[in-house]
Amino acid sequence: RTMSLMRKRYALVGTGSRAGMFVNAITQTFGEHAQLVAFCDLSQTRMNWYNQQLEQNGHESLPTYLAKDFDKMIKEVKPDSVIVTTMDATHHEYIIRAMELGCDVISEKPMTTDEVKAKAIFAAIERTGKSLRVTFNYRYAPAYTKLRELIIDGAIGRPLSVNFMWLLDTSHGADYFRRWHREKHNSGGLFVHKATHHFDLV
C-alpha cells in the first residue's frame, strides 16, 4: 500500500498504437514509480484490447471511459497526470480540459496542429498553473543519442550549419497516407506531424 501511495497516477486518453509505448513503460519498465489507472477513448474495442494485453502480462484490467466521459474519469480515478495520445487535432481539447480539472499533462508530439490551438493551450497553462510535457520518442533513438554525444565531445568541432533532409520511404511514408494523418485537418500535414521530429532532433 505504501508503494501504491507513492507511485504517480496516470490516466491515458487515446488508445491507438502510439499509446502502447506509454502503457508498456508505466506497467513494466517504471511500474515501481508509476501506476496506470484508466483508459479513455472513442473506441471501447481498443480499450478492451489494451486491457487484454495487461491481463496477459499479469496486470489487472483498468476502468475504461468513453471520450464523452473524460470529466467523469478524472473525477473518479483522480490521476496526477493525463497522457494524451489521441489524433493530433484533438490534443488541445484533452490537454486544456485535464489542466482545468487539476491534472498535469503529457502529450504525444505534435503538441497541436495550429497556432490558435497552441495559444489556447498556453492560456490554459497560464490560467491553471499546470504543466505540459510534449514527448519526442525519436530524440532518444540510439543513433541520435550517439550523434549528440559526438557533437558535444567536439568530434567535428563547432557546428556552424545543419542540413537535415529525410526522405520517407514507401513503407513508412506511404503508411501515413493510409490513415487519418493524410487529412491536414487531422494532423496539420506532414510539416506538423512528421517534421516536428526533425526540428526537435536539430
pLDDT in tens, 46-84: 999 999 999 999 999 999 999 999 999 999 999 999 999
Asked if residue 168 has pLDDT above 90, the reply is no
- Residues paired with residue 35 on neighbouring β-strands, in sequence order: 9
Nearest CA to 79 out of 108, 104, 43 is that of 104
The answer to whether residues 182 and 190 touch, using CB atoms and an 8 Å cutoff, is: no
**What is the per-residue pLDDT for 56?**
96
- Reported as half-sphere exposure (CB side, CA atoms, 13 A), residue 199 has a value of 9
Q: pTM surpassing 0.85?
A: yes
From first CA to last CA, the distance across the chain in angstroms is 44
For the ranges 20-24, 80-84, 198-202, which has the lowest average pLDDT? 198-202
pLDDT band at 16 (very low <50, low <70, confident <90, very high): very high
Q: Report whether pLDDT(171) > 80.
A: no
The CA distance from 163 to 180, in Å, is: 30
Instruction: Work out the angle at residue 123's Cα, subtended by the Cα atoms of residues 195 and 41, and round it to the nearest 5 degrees.
Output: 65
Pairing, β 81-84 against β 132-135 = unpaired
Half-sphere exposure at residue 163, Cβ-oriented, CA atoms within 13 angstroms = 0
**How many whole angstroms separate alpha carbon 128 and alpha carbon 172?**
39
Average of pLDDT values for 147-168? 90
Residues 6+ positions from 31 with CB-CB distance below 8 Å: none
**How large a percentage of the chain has pLDDT more than 70?**
97
pLDDT of residue 1: 46
pLDDT on residue 5: 59
Look at residues 30, 41, 38 and name the one whose alpha carbon lies nearest to residue 3.
Answer: 30
pLDDT class of 30 with cuts at 50, 70, 90: very high
| 167, amino acid identity | L
Query: What pLDDT score does 83 carry?
Result: 98
Is the pLDDT assigned to residue 45 strictly greater than 90?
A: yes
Distance CA 189, CA 141 (A): 23
How many C-beta neighbours within 10 Å does residue 128 have?
A: 16
Place of cell 472513442: 42
The mean pLDDT value for 122-129 works out to 98
What pLDDT is stored for residue 128 in this prediction?
98
Q: Of the given ranges (27-36, 151-160, 175-184), which has the lowest mean pLDDT?
A: 175-184
Residues 72, 65: contact at Cβ < 8 Å? Answer: yes
